[in-house]
Structure 1
Amino acid sequence: MYTAAENRYDTMKYRRCGRSGVLLPAISLGLWQNFGLEKPLEEQRQILCRAFDLGITHFDLANNYGHPARGKAEENFGAILKSDLMPYRDELFISTKAGYDFWPGPYGNWGSRKYLIASLDSSLKRMGLDYVDVFYHHRPDPETPLEETMGALSDIVRQGKALYVGISNYQADEASRAIAILKANGTPCLIHQPRYNMFERWVEDGLLGVLDRGGVGCICFSPLAQGALTGRYLNGIPEGSRASRAGTTIGGRYLTEDKLEKIRALNGIAADRGQSLAQMALCWVLRRKEVTSVLIGASSTAQLEDNVMSLNRMEFTADELQAIENILK
């Protein structure tokens, strides 16, 4: 039986989520990859328990996580909760989402009230929970009225199935409208989850300002550009890496020759800072005051520990930031 480390809160940095009472760890753990059928359950257990020992209290899931079987990540997480982490439930901040294709037919996708409430009910069963701390709408729905989607989120809070609600992948104007509707409903938006890394900076063009003005937190996924902003691809794409798998988008998205040249140059700056490229990339996202936390994926406890070590060197000099900008241009 797992017993959590007594010093688990000694070194992790926690940040306030918008203008709420919630503090989140600067580094949170996402279960998009590595928590389906890719790894034995015991390896998943080791990663989750080590994360908690390092002060990571926030675990982020979605109904469709768990390659190759949708829902498998929630199912596995629920099994590890039951066997090891449930005594610490009040110390954990657990989120899940719905918005992508999940089950067949017209009620298993997008943002209808029927889909969101039914999906959360299924997620709670898979995880063995009475409630989640945050429930997100995973992506905007171009056809369902936003009032219906946000109304469903508000009712989920009133029903006690989630303590807070959030949105993900919303552009600035969409987020502004959603935040206003939730505020009018009396269930404020706690947090937004966008993609943000050195190569994808669209959130800087308005969204971060919307969140700051609205008192909404921001947790960024893919801060390492699906592993591109690590040392793994400095010399090309190694066999067995995520980029080498059939059907992956990382190669065309992040590993063009132009971007590989930038990655190598960024790695030089990281080395001068005494960090790995991954550590510097995480700190670069966290440099923004609007960002509450970054979501990492971890395939091993060693990778997890390396990422958390980034918090030992978070500050940048003006010259370092300018050098990074010159490369990214």
Structure 2
Amino acid sequence: MYTANTERYENMKYNRCGRSGLQLPAISLGLWHNFGGNDVFENGRAMVRRAFDLGITHFDLANNYGPPAGSAEETFGSILKKDFQPYRDEMIISSKAGYYMWPGPYGEWGSRKYLVSSLDQSLKRMGLDYVDIFYHHRPDPNTPLEETMSALDHLVRQGKALYVGISNYRPEETRKAARILRELGTPCLIHQPNYSMMSRWIEDGLQDVLDEEGIGSIVFSPLQQGILTDRYLNGITSDSRAAGASVFLSEKQITDDTIGKVRRLNEIAEARGQKMSQLALSWVLRGGRVTSALIGASKVSQIEDAVGSLAAPELSAEELQKIEEILRA
């Protein structure tokens, strides 16, 4: 029988999510990879346990996470049932819908039909009555935004979600979605974009919109699919994701220039007593504009390293300048 660490809240940092009453851990755990039906259940279970013991209260999923699609939610549902029933009210559990999930015209994008059906399926897979946050996973160019946002509002009013958010929306799309939701009486809680040292598009307007609208942010891929770790400092190894058949990272993305930059960044990390991955997390969380950094993990030690990044001092102006010079070289 799992019993949570009684000191789990003592060292985690929690940040207010926009202008809401909700606080999120600075590090959240995503179940995008390594929790599917093809993965080892006990490894996933160990990672969720360790994350919670370290104060990570937020666990992020989507309808299509796996593979196969849906299996990450099934795995998480089994973990909840075995270990976390006494702790449900201490957890923030999120899911999303927007990408392809089932055949036919109602199995993806942003129609009311798809979103309501998808959340019903997600709740069944996880064995839950509600999720804490439900996202529209990507903008739909063919469905009126009013329909998509009204579906999110409907799901909150049904009691199937406590809060709603959006993911992968550009600045003006975000502003319009926030306005519609506000008028409906269900404010947009949070935006989930990708953001890292090497993918900085949210700095070009989106962060300003989020600040103005009072919306929090949780950023995915803060380690740039593993590039911003010590994994590739000496090139691509045969057991790495880039050397395999991953659709998310390829050898073409790991150029000599990229590796050279990461090596220079790693020197800054070492001078701070951090690993490269920890420096990357400290950087995305700098200045307080990001509510939470969403990490993926394949083993417990990676979660421990991520949470360990919070113990480091704030990046100094000199360190930030050096990082900027490296990234813009």
Three-state SS of the structure 1 residue aligned to 2:163 is strand
Mean Cα deviation higher: 294-303 or 37-46: 37-46
Q: Distance in 2 between matches of 1:288 and 1:156?
A: 34
Give the partner amino acid of 2:37. Answer: L
- 2:164–2:189 contact (8 Å) kept in structure 1: yes
Counterpart of 2:114? Answer: 115
Deviations, residues 193-243 of structure 1 (Å, cap 9, x unaligned): 000000000000000010011110000000000111000011111122221
Counterpart of 1:15? Answer: 15
Instruction: Report the CA distance between 1:314 and its aligned residue.
Output: 4.2
Q: Distance in 2 between matches of 1:104 and 1:253?
A: 32
Instruction: Report the CA distance between 1:318 and its aligned residue.
Output: 0.8
Q: Distance in 2 between matches of 1:252 and 1:157?
A: 43
- 1:134–1:163 contact (8 Å) kept in structure 2: yes
Give the partner amino acid of 1:85. Answer: F
Instruction: Report the CA distance between 1:257 and its aligned residue.
Output: 1.9
Instruction: Report the CA distance between 1:289 and its aligned residue.
Output: 2.1
- 2:123–2:131 contact (8 Å) kept in structure 1: yes
- 1:211–1:290 contact (8 Å) kept in structure 2: no
Counterpart of 1:266? Answer: 265
- 1:242–1:248 contact (8 Å) kept in structure 2: no
State whether structure 2 residue 244 is matched by structure 1 residue 245: yes
Number of aligned residue pairs: 328
State whether structure 2 residue 286 is matched by structure 1 residue 287: yes
TM-score (norm 1): 0.98
Three-state SS of the structure 2 residue aligned to 1:233 is coil
Three-state SS of the structure 2 residue aligned to 1:309 is helix
Counterpart of 1:172? Answer: 171
State whether structure 2 residue 82 is matched by structure 1 residue 58: no
State whether structure 2 residue 316 is matched by structure 1 residue 317: yes
Three-state SS of the structure 1 residue aligned to 2:3 is coil
Deviations, residues 132-175 of structure 1 (Å, cap 9, x unaligned): 00000000001100000000000000000000000000000100
Counterpart of 2:226? Answer: 227
Give the partner amino acid of 2:5. Answer: A
Give the partner amino acid of 2:111. Answer: S
Q: Distance in 1 between matches of 2:262 and 2:126?
A: 38
Q: Distance in 2 between matches of 1:249 and 1:157?
A: 33
Counterpart of 2:296? Answer: 297
Give the partner amino acid of 1:92. Answer: M
Identity %: 64
Deviations, residues 93-116 of structure 1 (Å, cap 9, x unaligned): 000000000100110010000000
Give the partner amino acid of 1:3. Answer: T
- 2:193–2:202 contact (8 Å) kept in structure 1: yes
Moved >2 Å (runs of 4+): 251-254
Counterpart of 1:95? Answer: 94
Q: Distance in 1 between matches of 2:69 and 2:280?
A: 30
Instruction: Report the CA distance between 1:248 and its aligned residue.
Output: 2.5
Three-state SS of the structure 2 residue aligned to 1:203 is helix
Give the partner amino acid of 2:139. Answer: P
Q: Would the alpha carbon gap of residues 49 and 101 (structure 1) be closer, same or farther in structure 2, given more than 3 Å must change?
A: same
Q: What does 1:37-52 align with in structure 2 at a 5 Å threshold?
A: 37-52=37-52
Instruction: Report the CA distance between 1:121 and its aligned residue.
Output: 0.1
Q: What does 1:123-272 align with in structure 2 at a 5 Å threshold?
A: 123-251=122-250, 254-272=253-271
Mean Cα deviation higher: 9-18 or 309-318: 309-318
Q: Distance in 2 between matches of 1:229 and 1:64?
A: 26
Q: Distance in 2 between matches of 1:252 and 1:198?
A: 19
Q: Distance in 2 between matches of 1:173 and 1:314?
A: 35
What are the ranges of 5 or more consecutive residues in structure 1 without an aligned counterpart? none
